[in-house]
Amino acid sequence: MKKILRNSCLALCIFALALGLGVLAHAQTAATPAAPAAAPAPVAATPADAELKDAAGKAPATADLAKGDPGGSFTGTINDVPAADPKAGVTIPDVANQVGQNKIAVNFVWTLVCGFLVMFMQAGFAMVESGLCRVKNANHTYMMNFFVYTCGLFAYWLVGFAIQMGGAAGNSNLGGLQPLASEHTLSLFGKTWGLFGQSGYLLAGHSYDVGVMVIFLFEMVFMDTALTIVTGACAERWKFATFAVSSVIMGALTYPLFGNWAWGAGWLSQLGSNAGLGKGYCDFAGSGVVHAVGGITALAVSMIVGPRIGKFNRDGSANPIIGHDISAVLIGCFILAFGWFGFNPGSTLGASANGNLRIGTIAVDTMLAGCTGTLGAILYMWMLKGKPDASMSGNGLLAGLVAITAPSGFVSAPNSCIIGLIAGVLVCVSVSFIENVLKVDDPVGAISVHGAGGLWGVLSVGLFADGTSNYGGSWNGVTGSVTGLFYGDASQLAAQLIGISTLIGFVFTLSFVINLVLEYFMGQRVSAETELAGLDIPEMGQLGYPEFVFRPEPAYSGD
């Protein structure tokens, strides 16, 4: 009977998959591009056209180029500009089109390369989280970090991207993104507020577009960063099957929804234009959208999963459970810091035009906040606990980076140092509070690094934004630069606080309820027997380090 049931399920799966693929094939057919617009009518030759012809005549001939160009002086001339009418030669419209395409090309390459850097951060997260866990759970922790990439990507491709960015048309850095022009809205108090996007499902139909693909890749790796935060907080006791389903739902719904509200023309970004609150909720690279969403979801899930066996004593005091590989932790932190140069500067979504030359400032702000975050944590631990704790130093670096993520596009270098320093101290205080007061077990400190650090980052925009940035003259549709309380705009602080309230009140509750439902149906936690044995064999079927042998040092003889 069971076999029949299983076979039926399998048949249903195959049938459903075939249907899904059929729909996709239909979508691909429907996406056949329209015929290109007719070529512009020829214009009368102007003096400028004559100059262009002259320049073409003076450009190095093919025979000259065949001799080689070691100095790079002749490669790339007017002859490399494609002419609409080869007989007429290169004209002013040809040059203008090429300039426009070069701008978009530079921005595409910039955004894609930064996205690749952010993708590499997954490796850093895997090393940090696994290094902070015990050796008996290493394979399980690495596998969660590995598989979350697949779960998140699949869910985001299916529906998450459409919810988050389906109404995000209008970004001139990436060519306008016009296929993403459908936002579901709600009219309230005489204003229209964006709720979620509705185009871009499965990247099919009109979203089969070069610009859409670039923004998909970039936003997807951000989403995956948020998902992988939860695996750290719930490590060493989270059932693999439940983790997988929970991650799919987070990538499909929880993250994209808040992402839409902040970045996809949703209601938080409209707080400026609709309610007169500064430039609306501003989160340059995702302290709130990515890190706080991840950290707050991590808090919700780790409450449900419960503490590891042996973490707390009967009197409520906590036992330290030491990770197995501090070298992996610190190397992982460096990989993350490297990837952050994609995370923050890449969030300009371009390097050319619209004030995007600020990428240098953003990169330096990122670097400095990481530095002062590390200093804050090391000094705190060294002065109060007596040792420059390695794992907390790593967390300090990450907290500084997390905190500067939202303000990196809007603040000066000295302010980024202050933001990072506060984050470094905050993470130490928060780790202690979560463990000793809440009695929530977070093996890697993810809730503190990403949750507390992320919220501080969102708040710091409302305090430290100095009003000097100029991303095309407006932000979130409001003319002017983002300016915080210390530089004269209290209303920006109000917008940031509304964002924080949404993260704490809405995102936490949504994550909590979803995972409570999963707890009911699937169970979130492995059995006590599995937990004690270590999750590697029961959950993954293989030890992370099968030949790991503990050899005690011989006694010191003094000879």
Of 11, 23, 84, 96, the one binding another protein by CB under 8 A: 23
Backbone angles phi, psi at 314, to 5 degrees: -60, -35
Q: Per CB under 8 A, does 250 bind another protein?
A: no
Residue 530 touching another protein (CB under 8 A) = yes
Q: Please check whether residue 403 is in contact with residue 286, taking contact to mean a CB–CB distance below 8 angstroms.
A: no
Among the residues of 178-286, which ranges form H helices? 210-233, 240-249, 255-263, 271-275
The yes or no reply on residue 532 touching another protein (CB under 8 A) is yes
**39 or 437: CB nearest another protein:** 437
Cα→Cα distances 287→47, 282, 486, 522, Å: 53, 10, 20, 31
DSSP 190: T
Q: Which helix (H) or strand (E) holds 350?
A: none
Residue 188, beta-bridge partner list: 191
Cβ distance 180 to 200 under 8 Å?
yes
Q: What is the footprint of another protein within residues 148-167 (CB under 8 A)? A: 154-155, 158-159, 162
* Cβ–Cβ < 8 Å for 168, 177: yes
422-461 mask for another protein (x: CB under 8 A)? ----------------xxx---------------------
Q: Is 208 exposed, middle or buried (0-12, 13-18, 19+ CB in 10 A)?
A: middle
In the set 310, 414, 473, 488, which binds another protein (CB under 8 A)?
Answer: 310
| Cα 124 to Cα 129: distance, rounded to the nearest angstrom | 9
Q: Is 11 in the site for another protein (CB under 8 A)?
A: no
| Element spanning 29, H or E | helix 2-30
Among 201, 263, 343, 380, binds another protein (CB under 8 A): 201
Which alpha helices (H) appear in 234-345, and where do they start and end?
A: 240-249, 255-263, 271-275, 293-305, 326-343
Nearest to 395 by CA among 451, 312, 473, 466: 451
**Nearest distance from residue 505's CB to another protein, in Å?**
3
Nearer to another protein, 182 or 470 (CB): 182
Is 388 one of the binding residues for another protein (CB under 8 A)?
no
CB 241, min distance to another protein, A: 4
Site string for another protein, 253-272 (x = CB under 8 A): ------------------x-
On whether the CB atoms of residues 544 and 142 are closer than 8 A, the answer is yes
Q: Which segment (52-60, 240-248, 280-288, 375-383) binds another protein by CB under 8 A?
A: 240-248
In angstroms, the CA 518 to CA 245 distance is 8
| Beta carbon nearer to another protein, 365 or 531 | 531
Judged by CB under 8 A, the chain residues 50 through 69 that form the site for another protein are none
Which position among 40, 57, 276, 473 is part of the footprint of another protein (CB under 8 A)?
A: 276
Which residues fall within 8 angstroms of residue 295, CB to CB, at 6 or more apart? 229, 233, 446, 447, 448, 449, 450, 451, 452, 453, 454
Is 363 a binder of another protein (CB under 8 A)? no
Q: Does 13 bind another protein (CB under 8 A)?
A: yes
Stretch that binds another protein, among 10-18, 36-44, 122-130, 475-483 (CB under 8 A): 10-18
Q: How far is the CB of 530 from another protein (least distance, A)?
A: 5
CB 201 to another protein: min, Å: 4
Stretch that binds another protein, among 100-108, 133-141, 378-386, 395-403 (CB under 8 A): 133-141
Check residue 547 and report its DSSP letter.
Answer: T
Residue 548 CB: number of other CB atoms within 10 A?
Answer: 11
Residue 217 near another protein by CB under 8 A = no
Amino acid residing at 47: P
Q: Please choose, out of 42-50, 178-186, 284-292, 526-534, the segment that lies near another protein by the rule CB under 8 A.
A: 526-534
Residue 462's closest CA among 281, 328, 308?
Answer: 281
Please identify which residue in the block is written with the tokens 């953003």: 362
What is the length of the chain?
Answer: 559
- For position 556 contacting another protein by CB under 8 A, the verdict is no
CB-nearer residue toward another protein: 300 or 336: 300
Q: Which residue has the tokens 């001339």?
A: 77
Cβ proximity to another protein: between 138 and 214 the closer is 138
Minimum separation from the CB atom of position 522 to another protein (A): 4
Q: Closer to another protein at the Cβ: 370 or 457? A: 457
Q: How far is the CB of 14 from another protein (least distance, A)?
A: 8
Shortest distance in whole angstroms from residue 253 CB to another protein: 11
Task: Tell me the C-alpha distance between 146 and 123, whole Å.
Answer: 8
**Residue from the set 84, 309, 413, 429 that interacts with another protein by CB under 8 A:** 309
- 27 binding another protein? (CB under 8 A): yes
For residue 447, the 8-state DSSP code is: I
Of 65-73, 89-97, 297-305, 415-423, the window that binds another protein (rule: CB under 8 A) is 297-305
Q: Pick the stretch among 36-44, 101-109, 173-181, 306-314 that binds another protein (CB under 8 A).
A: 306-314
| 365 within 8 A of 339, measured Cβ to Cβ | no
Which of 4, 66, 67, 529 is the binder for another protein (CB under 8 A)? 529
Q: Quick check: 25 binds another protein (CB under 8 A)? A: no
